[in-house]
């Protein structure tokens, strides 16, 4: 296994923080999840996935679950129930090999449609963070909840930091000497510190913090029933489309034969095992993701060393700081996280370039429209049905 820990790997390891941190903040602050359990789950999953798959692999919150849970301020018991149910389903799909049959039914335009739709979603969420419209920002009534200064004249700090660091990232995107991701994260943390985020570090005490086992108790049957209908049912199709099939496809596109361990079955099993652990320690449901992989790759990740770097950082945060680990991450302004998310979305959306037929492009555009109006789970199902109808009916677009 090739491991590298150079500047590019460090930069690439930070590439997906724009997706990971805002949803993590929300689920800790709004839903009451354990910061120790959440960040320990993320760190260990990054490490184990890197050592097994031997290429960069992303670790992300399950977006349907996290967005719905944050929006409705659901209890941690309901989130734990969803994680248990998702773990059981993913392990079943992976160990039985049923996921392979599902994957064979998904044509390339649908895979690219998932990647395009996810990319555009990430772009839009990045813009929301930059302009101050993220749910966490709206809840606090501030574009930068952890800074003392909210604007410089008529320009909000989130817009200022997003545009400033977006330009820096654009100028350094191909630089090996000053990797864009590393410069943006380090300089962004300094920027946040100078404008008041230093307050988040005042009460931090380093110690040894181990996660509690089932800190919220065992979910009730009512929790399982609600989670199955409201959280798990819409999440599974999105997970199959983005976290399994699209991730495997994108990994092969980036790393070729080096990604031979990144199979549909392996992805299901690793996500299933990670969600068993997350449920036990009060963390959030997690998955892999094509968007996260695109983000890591865009900022320089080329070996599993990037997984080791970010994994060790999150494990250290969880074990050494416990519930205060979130305070350190508050140093990064929301505008900087939005910029990282914006670039990740653009990188993922560009993967559609190998689809050149009009029917394939039509399917992708329909999927994008449905995703923006509803969700990716519906778009995934409609895309498969539409491709089948076009092919069987020999319909010309």
Q: Count CB-CB contacts under 10 A for residue 131.
A: 17
- What is the C-alpha separation between 296 and 60, in angstroms, rounded? 12
Closest by CA position to 45, among listed 263, 274, 219, 322: 274
Q: Write down the pLDDT at residue 71.
A: 66
Q: Write down the pLDDT at residue 18.
A: 81
Record the tokens describing residue 117, joined without a space. Answer: 């739709």
Q: Write down the pLDDT at residue 67.
A: 76
Q: What is the value of pTM for the model shown?
A: 0.86
Q: Give the start-to-end residue ranges of the domains of the chain.
A: 7-353
Closest by CA position to 21, among listed 379, 325, 358: 325
CB 244, CB 268: distance < 8 Å: yes
Which backbone phi and psi does 151 adopt, to 5 degrees?
Answer: -160, 155
Q: What is the CA radius of gyration of the chain?
A: 20
Residue pLDDT tens, the chain, 397 long: 678 999 999 999 998 888 788 888 888 988 899 999 999 999 999 999 999 999 999 999 998 788 778 767 789 999 999 999 999 999 999 999 999 988 888 888 888 888 888 888 878 888 998 999 888 788 889 999 999 999 998 999 999 999 999 999 899 888 878 888 889 889 999 999 999 999 988 888 888 999 999 999 999 999 999 999 888 887 888 899 889 999 999 999 999 999 999 999 999 999 999 999 999 999 999 999 888 999 899 889 999 999 999 999 999 999 999 999 988 989 999 999 888 888 878 877 887 877 888 999 999 999 999 988 887 778 888 998 999 899 887 777 7
Distance between the two ends of the chain, CA-based, in angstroms?
46
Q: Write down the pLDDT at residue 248.
A: 95
Cα distances from 349 to residues 7, 119, 299, 335, 364, in angstroms, run 26, 5, 15, 21, 11
Question: Ramachandran region of residue 300, left (φ > 0), alpha (ψ -120 to 50) or beta?
Answer: left
DSSP letters spanning 198-224: GGGGTT------PPPSSTT-PPPHHHH
Q: Write down the pLDDT at residue 107.
A: 84
């Amino acid at each position: 296994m090739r491991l590298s820990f150079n500047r590019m790997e460090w930069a690439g390891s930070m590439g997906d923080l724009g997706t990971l941190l805002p949803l993590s903040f929300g689920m800790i602050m709004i839903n009451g999840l354990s910061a120790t359990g959440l960040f320990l789950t993320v760190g260990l999953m990054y490490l184990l996935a890197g050592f097994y798959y031997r290429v960069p692999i992303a670790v992300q919150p399950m977006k349907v679950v996290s967005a719905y849970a944050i929006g409705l301020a659901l209890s941690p018991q309901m989130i734990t129930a969803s994680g248990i149910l998702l773990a059981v389903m993913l392990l079943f799909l992976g160990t039985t090999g049923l996921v392979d049959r599902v994957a064979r039914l998904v044509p390339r335009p649908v895979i690219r449609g998932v990647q395009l739709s996810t990319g555009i979603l990430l772009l839009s969420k990045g813009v929301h963070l930059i302009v101050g419209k993220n749910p966490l920002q709206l809840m606090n009534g501030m574009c930068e909840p952890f800074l003392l200064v909210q604007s410089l004249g008529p320009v909000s700090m989130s817009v200022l930091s997003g545009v400033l660091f977006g330009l820096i990232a654009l100028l350094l995107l191909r630089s090996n000497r000053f990797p864009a991701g590393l410069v943006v994260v380090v300089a962004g943390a300094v920027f946040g510190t100078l404008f008041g985020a230093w307050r988040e570090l005042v009460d931090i005490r380093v110690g040894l913090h181990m996660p509690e086992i089932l800190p919220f108790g065992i979910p009730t049957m009512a929790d399982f029933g609600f989670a199955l209908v409201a959280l798990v049912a819409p999440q599974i199709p999105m997970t199959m489309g983005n976290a399994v099939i699209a991730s495997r496809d994108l990994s092969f596109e980036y790393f070729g034969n080096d990604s031979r361990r990144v199979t549909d079955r392996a992805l299901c099993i690793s996500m299933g095992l990670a969600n068993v652990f997350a449920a036990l320690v009060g963390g959030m449901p997690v998955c892999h993701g094509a968007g996260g992989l695109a983000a890591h790759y865009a900022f320089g990740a080329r070996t599993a060393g990037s997984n080791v770097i970010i994994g060790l950082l999150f494990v250290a945060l969880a074990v050494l700081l416990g519930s205060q680990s979130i305070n350190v991450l508050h140093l990064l302004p929301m505008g900087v996280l939005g910029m990282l998310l914006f670039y990740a979305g653009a990188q993922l959306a560009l993967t559609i370039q190998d689809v050149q037929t009009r029917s394939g492009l039509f399917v992708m555009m329909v999927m994008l429209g449905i995703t923006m109006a509803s969700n990716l789970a519906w778009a995934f199902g409609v895309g498969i049905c539409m491709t089948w109808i076009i092919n069987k009916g020999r319909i010309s677009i």
